[in-house]
Amino acid sequence: MIKQFLLGSILLSSSVFCMGQNTVQLEFDSEQTIIINKHIYGHFAEHLGRCIYDGFYVGESNTTIPHTKGVRNDVVDALKKLQIPNLRWPGGCFADTYHWKDGIGKKESRPTIVNNWWGGVTEDNSFGTHDFLDMCELLATEPYLAGNVGSGEVQELADWVQYVNFSGKGPMSDLRKLNGREDPWNVKYWGVGNEAWGCGGNMTPEYYSDIYRKYSTFMADWDNSGGLYRIASGASGDDYHWTETLMKKIPSSLMKGVALHHYAVIDWSKKGPSIDFTEEQYFKTMKSAWFMNELIEKHSAIMDKYDPKGKIDLVVDEWGGWYEVEVGTNPGFLYQQNTMRDAMIAGMTLNIFNNHARRVKMANLAQTINVLQAVILTEGEKMLLTPTYHVMEMYKVHQDATLIPLKLISEDFTFMDERIPAVSASASQNVDGTTHISLVNIDPKSPKKISVDMGEIKAKTVGGRILSAKKLRDYNSFQEPEKISPRRFTAATLTNGKIEVEIPPFSVVVLHLN
């Protein structure tokens, strides 16, 4: 069976065509332009396992790993190449146990706490507000601070905003200057709690809505003259009642974004291995990843009901694959390998985000280094880039480009009696007129021939890059750090406004047309 989808809009009814037909119809309308917000390509760094310590941060006294104020130079270089637009910190669940004043001032005087969420390790607070915000300046990225609502107080969060953003004379700005920073960082993006339905306090949506209104009120002045982009702790997966309650109870003057969290998980009690997964586990992971499309459509429909003008954004600030940890590692550190399966999750999910760019304005892959679907892994002085990194690097051409809506007809990827689309796609045009088309074939066995009708888009040449591997379970290791990396793709032809292309099994292709 082959299914027809109008991506970025509505799901059409199934239609049957001759087998082997996969088509993409570009439907660009210069009168109705939507920009793919670069912040869809954001990242997430939590005080979890080896993400911050031994990931980003190796300490100012480190003499074996080149660094700037304790932050690894190779990590900075890699993330700058990725052009990450924002970085979310300090959590995650950790955010609602984090008291920001513990992480400022002289490091030897900072109190320690126990990180009960992740491994029960001692957190010495040596990486705090100054360290993170200075690192964001190194990365040329926007900081996204997640405030403590679960165990913190309103005044604590209000003081944090004053500390990092206020330029005049006041108790918090004076304290910032005393700690060595004269000018404010002017942080725009603020999460008002995290997963309030779970680790952020096990709240009901009705209760959290009232709490949110209180905290967001004291974070800014009457007119929000500081321009804070306040993000509410949103739903877990398909909890549509949560989204409806927030949209109904919180005015748009207090809320710019509503979060959504969804991980591609087989079974929370038995998540499966990150490398030696079965064919069934692969299919179920892809099915869970594809569910993101339905989630965004249904949550967006609720938001449209209460916010038809689109003043409030959908922010998917946690997404990615989640498996069992690698054998021999701390279960609370969530360290997992990154195979071509993860490249499939990344390519498919980013296509979904691009196609829903009307409502989705920000997203954050979980997490940047050494945790879950990381883009970077480190081991002592060594660092490697994962298949997920390479997909995001290939897709960076979509950042702040104009979305080209498309109609996709895809063969099914089937397992037993279940099926999902084998092909996903998204397209955009950047300011210099270059068109980019991202194509993903998640079928682990069969290549896909795809015909792309350019419609009104004019182009004379087509080229591209591909990420593929010999085996679906292949990954980059510290012994073979470049086993998987993008290479030039030449198997696409352009004739009379149509592209004919065949992409291998489990591969990602980004075409560029001039």
Active site residues: 195, 318
Cα distance between residue 500 and residue 459, in whole Å: 14
Of 315, 424, 314, 332, nearest to 372 by C-alpha is 332
Distance CA 150, CA 286 (A): 33
How far lies 208's CA from each of 73, 95, 141, 233, in Å?
40, 16, 30, 9
Cβ distance 435 to 427 under 8 Å? yes
Can you say how many angstroms the Cα of residue 340 is from the centroid of all Cα atoms in its chain?
18
231: tokens are 């993000």
The residue with tokens 């279960």 is 331
How far apart CA 505 and CA 440 sit, in angstroms, is 9
Cα 313 from Cα 308, distance rounded (Å): 11
- For every residue of 175-216, DSSP letters joined together read HHHHTT--S-----EEEE-S-TTTTTT---HHHHHHHHHHHH
| Separation of alpha carbons 162 and 142, rounded Å | 18
What one-character-per-residue DSSP string does 211-232 give?
Answer: HHHHHHHHHS-TT-TT--EEEE
**In this structure, what token pair is assigned to residue 117?**
């969420």
